[in-house]
Amino acid sequence: RKAVVIDCEMMMTDDPYGRGRSYNALAYLAAVDFLTGEVLIDRYVRPAGRVTYWNTRVTGITPGKMNAAIKHGQAFGSWETARQALWEFVDRDTVLIGHALHNDLNALGIIHPRVVDTGIVTAEAVFSTQWGEMRRFPRLWGLKTLAMDMLGRHIQGSSQGHSAVEDALATRDVLVWGLENPVLLGEWARRERRLRDELFGFVLSDSDSVKSEGSDAASWSDFDGDLVSSPSDSIGDPCGVKPSTFW
């Protein structure tokens, strides 16, 4: 596929590698085709170690749900199996998209050369012109906030926890909204920047904007342009993930 959105749910387990520390294990994987919205993967993942914290309030996953999924063949047997299923839709040229994507890639043991993180690109829209190139943004916006601000959509409101598919679709739609509405994106970024400046006592010139002085349009290109940068020359190393820049 040309671009795939992923979202993972995690839980804490004993370290399956015997290093004597807690391990953030993959428990659920959802993947959506960015261009069509087709749900490609929507499946539990059997944890390798003994679960020490289910994180049910966030993930919605309980021992009963996990055991039922395993019993009925509705769970991947391991995180490696889940990753292999993802490879059926993803190759080196596929753009992987997510929100706080480094968490998902770490859980899957993946480093990839073409990535877009909606948490990063929205922060870039707010801060990059005002403060120039930044390695760490003063704030990152949560997916729930972005979905409400940009889509008028309420997500993550269930008492049963998050839906990985719902989050993946919301991530997709936030990115589509930004690509299709650069002027509105610029207005949103200006408003958020001004609110922050007022809160912390900074002064923002009315002429300041996301793209250039006197313009409200943010510069998010389509897939025919320079959508992503290559964050690393190495592929397949699960030790770390560097974020991309989305122009």
CATH number of the domain residue 55 falls in: 3.30.420.10
Average pLDDT (101-129) is 93
Domain assignment present for residue 118? The answer is no
Domain assignment present for residue 101? The answer is no
Range name among 46-50, 176-180, 181-185, 186-190 with the lowest pLDDT average: 46-50
Q: Do 111 and 238 meet the contact criterion of CB atoms below 8 Å apart?
A: yes
Predicted confidence band of residue 202 (pLDDT cuts 50, 70, 90): low
Domain assignment present for residue 10? The answer is yes
Write the DSSP symbol of residue 244: P
Q: Do 37 and 171 meet the contact criterion of CB atoms below 8 Å apart?
A: no
Query: For residue 10, what is the enclosing H or E element?
Result: strand 3-14
- The residues, any chain, with a CB within 8 Å of residue 3's CB and separated by 6 or more, are 33, 34, 35, 94, 95, 96, 97, 223
Q: Residue 55: which domain range?
A: 3-91
Range name among 25-29, 46-50, 190-194, 222-226 with the lowest pLDDT average: 222-226
Q: Do 89 and 71 meet the contact criterion of CB atoms below 8 Å apart?
A: no
Identify the residue whose tokens are 């804490």: 12
- pTM, two decimals, is 0.79
Q: How many domains does the chain have?
A: 1
Domain assignment present for residue 170? The answer is no
Mean pLDDT of the chain: 81
d(CA 145, CA 143): 5
d(CA 144, CA 163): 12
In a 3-state reduction of DSSP, which class is residue 75? strand
Query: For residue 45, what is the enclosing H or E element?
Result: strand 39-45
Name the residue with higher pLDDT: 105 or 196: 105
Domain assignment present for residue 74? The answer is yes
Domain assignment present for residue 143? The answer is no
- Listed residue (61, 30, 66, 60) closest to 158, CA to CA: 60
Whether pLDDT at 188 is above 50: yes
Domain assignment present for residue 182? The answer is no
Name the residue with higher pLDDT: 135 or 223: 135
Domain assignment present for residue 37? The answer is yes
